[in-house]
Structure 1
Amino acid sequence: MNSFSGIRFKKETAKRFQEFSKKHFNSHTEALATMLDFFFYNEISPRERLGPTGRTIEANLKKRINAVIAIMRDMEKTQTKPTVAMIASLFQLEERKNKPLIVEKKFIKPNKK
C-alpha cells in the first residue's frame, strides 16, 4: 500500500480543493496528479493567461453583429428603399387621360345650325 504525506494548505484552499476533487475525481490524489500532469504535458504555467474566454469572444461577436445590422438598416433606409421606389415609379404605367386631340382648324367641318 502507498504511504501518504501531509501537505499544509490554508483552510479555504483545502475546502475548495476537496469540493473540486469530489465533484470531478474519485480521490484527492487522483485530482492533484491529473492537474500536475495537465500542466506538465501542455507545457504551461498555471499563472499564465490562456487568452480570451468564450464569454469575451461571444460579447465581441455580438457587438460586431449589432454594428453590421445597424449598417445594413441604415443602407436600407438611405439607399435601397428610395432606389426601389424610383425604379418602381419609372415602370408604373399611368392611365392616359382622354383629352381631345388638337386638330388644325382647316380640317374642322363647320357645324350647321
Structure 2
Amino acid sequence: MDSFIGIRFKKETAKRFQTFSRTYFKSHTEAMAAMLDFFFYNEISPKEKLGPTGRTIEAKLLKRINAVIAIMRDVEKTQTKPTVTMIQSLFEAEEPEKKPLILEKKVSEKKKKVRFQEKRNLKNEL
C-alpha cells in the first residue's frame, strides 16, 4: 500500500479542492494526479491565460452578426428594393391596345331574353 504525506494548504484552498475532487473524482489523490497530468501533457502552466472564454467569444460573435444584419437591411433598403422596382416596372410595361381595323365589322351576339316562362303548378308535382 502507498504511504500518504501531509501537505499544508490554506483552509479556503483545501475546501475548494475537496469539493472539486468529490465532484469529479473518487479520491483526492486521483484528482491531484489528473490535474498534474493535464498540465504536463498539454505543456501549459497553471499561471497562463488560455485566451478568451466561450462566453466572450459568443458575445463578440453576436455583436458581429447583429452588425452584418444591419448592413444587409441597409443594402436591401437602399439598393435592392429600388432596383427591383425599376426592373419590375420595365417588365410590366403595358402592351398597347390593339385598335380594330376600319374595315372589320363587329359581330355582336345578343342573347335572346325569354319573355314568357311556363308557370309551374306546385300541387300537381307533389
- Answering whether residue 84 of structure 2 is matched by residue 88 of structure 1, we say no
Q: How do residues 71-82 of structure 1 correspond to structure 2 at under 5 angstroms?
A: 71-82=71-82
- Distance in 1 (CA, whole Å) between partners of 2:39 and 2:97 is 87
Across the aligned residues of Structure 1 and Structure 2, the Cα RMSD in angstroms comes to 1.8
Q: Which runs of 4+ in 1 moved over 2 A?
A: 93-98
Which blocks of at least 5 consecutive residues in structure 1 are unaligned? Answer: 99-113
Matched pairs, number: 99
- Answering whether residue 37 of structure 2 is matched by residue 37 of structure 1, we say yes
> Which amino acid counterpart does residue 29 of structure 1 have in structure 2?
T
Give the TM-score taking structure 2 as reference length.
0.72
Q: Which gives a bigger RCO, structure 1 or 2 (Cα 8 Å, sep 6+)?
A: 1
- Answering whether residue 23 of structure 2 is matched by residue 23 of structure 1, we say yes
The structure having more radius of gyration, on CA atoms, is 2
Q: In the TM superposition, what whole-angstrom CA distance separates every residue of 1:40-89 from its partner, at most 9, and x where no partner exists?
A: 12211100011121111111111111111110000000000011111111
- Distance in 1 (CA, whole Å) between partners of 2:92 and 2:40 is 75
Report the Cα offset of residue 97 of structure 1.
7.4
Q: Which has the higher helix share?
A: 1
- Answering whether residue 69 of structure 2 is matched by residue 61 of structure 1, we say no
Give the TM-score taking structure 1 as reference length.
0.79
Which blocks of at least 5 consecutive residues in structure 2 are unaligned? Answer: 99-126
